[in-house]
């Protein structure tokens, strides 16, 4: 038997169907069936009952399932640890970034890393919050920018508070003049960030009973700004995102002064290499030097 046979077995359990399991693993159904038959022959036990509803585990299969899962988990853990070791030996640092930090911070941070550690290679992976947290947990990332608190209880160091601002068409001026109220936002069509965006606006919208069911959903920052610019609605975006995405729009603080906290995360049980620790320090020092104090929320938007 082989670990590959175990993986095919687990895929069949997950899908409940041999053909679908084969597709997931890019195998022919015949190859998956042969693997299962070989496993059952070596065990000397039937593992599945084949019926109209699909494939169900026998009592023997149910008893063996947690042991097979444990074996695969141990093998995955071994390979992840090997990746970490090789990364440290090769001087490789893997950083996960959200779009806003990638645009606003990363060029300077990478320059500072090269100055301090010229022999270290840096791999950048851009993704949404969940993808980056999963990357840390799976061992494919060493550091990642996150929104705090993290969704998966990762260790994170807060870097800055980033205001959530409302962007409107140029011809709109709120009653107050300097900031917009939630009630005024409710009068407009909403343009929401799509799945995977590094915004914390959706939770704010839900918390304040804004109608997100009929809102437009757009993935790209520049596309959101363009739709607002054309008068199709308003949106709520972090200030850091807007620093690189300015159009013919108005930008207002929101009455309740919402914000997100951007942090940098690592795994709590991981032993960081010296190069990763140095990179962490570079990031912290850079952000703190650029934003030495928290500015008042109702300041004018910086041009």
The predicted-structure confidence for 147-192, as pLDDT tens digits, reads as follows: 888 877 788 899 988 889 999 999 999 998 889 999 999 888 888 8
Mean pLDDT of all residues belonging to the chain: 84
Residue 192 CB burial class (10 angstroms; 0-12, 13-18, ≥19) = buried
> In the chain, what are the domain boundaries?
3-86, 90-158+261-290, 161-259
**Domain 161-259 adopts which CATH fold?**
D-Maltodextrin-Binding Protein; domain 2 (3.40.190)
Least confidently predicted of 76-80, 167-171, 226-230, 258-262:
76-80
Unique residue bearing structure tokens 């036990």: 45
More confident residue, 198 or 187: 187
Q: What is the spatial distance between Cα 188 and Cα 233, in angstroms, rounded to a whole number?
A: 6
Supply the pLDDT for residue 62.
Answer: 93
Supply the pLDDT for residue 89.
Answer: 46
Supply the pLDDT for residue 94.
Answer: 92
pLDDT surpassing 80 at residue 82: no
How is residue 220 annotated by DSSP? -
The strand pair at 143-148 and 155-169 is best described as: unpaired
The strand pair at 235-238 and 92-97 is best described as: unpaired
* DSSP three-state, residue 273: coil
* DSSP three-state, residue 296: coil
Supply the pLDDT for residue 285.
Answer: 93
Unique residue bearing structure tokens 């807007």: 242
- Six token digits for residue 114: 């090269």
- Six token digits for residue 188: 């407009």
User: Considering only CA atoms, which of 230, 109, 90 is closest in space to residue 171?
Assistant: 230
pLDDT surpassing 90 at residue 27: no
Q: Which whole number is the average pLDDT over 52-68?
A: 90
Q: Does domain 90-158+261-290 have CATH number 3.40.1360.10?
A: no
Domains 90-158+261-290 and 161-259 share a fold: yes
Unique residue bearing structure tokens 């109702």: 298
Which residues fall within 8 angstroms of residue 221, CB to CB, at 6 or more apart?
A: 99, 100, 197, 237, 241, 244, 245
User: How many Cβ atoms are within 10 Å of 245's Cβ, its own excluded?
Assistant: 19
Residue 153: left if φ>0, alpha if ψ -120 to 50, beta else—which one? left
Supply the pLDDT for residue 273.
Answer: 74
Q: How far is CA 35 from CA 1, 38, 47, 171, in A?
A: 9, 5, 12, 66
Q: Give the model's confidence band at 26: pLDDT under 50 very low, under 70 low, under 90 confident, else very high.
A: confident
pLDDT surpassing 70 at residue 20: yes
Q: Does domain 3-86 have CATH number 3.40.50.920?
A: no
- Six token digits for residue 212: 């997100």
User: Considering only CA atoms, which of 231, 229, 194, 233 is closest in space to residue 210?
Assistant: 233
């Amino acid at each position: 038997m082989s670990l590959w046979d175990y993986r095919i077995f687990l895929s069949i359990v997950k899908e409940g169907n041999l053909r679908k399991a084969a597709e997931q693993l890019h195998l022919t159904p015949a190859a998956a069936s042969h693997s299962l038959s070989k496993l059952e022959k070596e065990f000397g036990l039937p593992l599945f009952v084949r019926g109209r509803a699909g494939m169900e585990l026998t009592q023997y299969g149910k008893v063996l399932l947690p042991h097979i899962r444990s074996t695969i988990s141990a093998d995955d853990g071994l390979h992840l640890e090997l990746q970490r070791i090789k990364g440290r030996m090769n001087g490789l640092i893997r950083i996960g970034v959200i779009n806003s930090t990638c645009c606003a911070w990363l060029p300077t941070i990478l320059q500072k890393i090269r100055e301090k550690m010229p022999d270290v290679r840096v791999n950048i992976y851009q993704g949404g919050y969940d993808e980056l947290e999963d990357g840390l947990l799976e061992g494919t990332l060493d550091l990642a920018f996150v929104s705090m608190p993290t969704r998966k209880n990762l260790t994170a160091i807060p870097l800055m508070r980033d205001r959530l601002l409302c962007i409107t068409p140029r011809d709109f001026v709120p009653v107050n003049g300097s900031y917009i109220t939630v009630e005024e936002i409710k009068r407009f069509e909403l343009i929401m960030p799509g799945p995977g965006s590094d915004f914390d606006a959706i939770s704010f919208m839900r918390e304040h009973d804004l109608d997100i069911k009929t809102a437009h959903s757009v993935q790209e920052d520049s596309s959101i700004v363009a739709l607002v610019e054309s008068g199709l609605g308003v949106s709520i975006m972090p200030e850091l995102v807007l620093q690189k995405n300015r159009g013919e729009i108005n930008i207002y603080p929101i009455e309740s002064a919402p914000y997100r906290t951007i942090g940098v995360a690592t795994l709590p049980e991981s032993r960081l290499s010296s190069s990763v620790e140095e990179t962490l320090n570079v990031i912290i020092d850079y952000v703190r030097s650029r934003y030495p104090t928290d500015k008042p929320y109702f300041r004018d938007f910086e041009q």
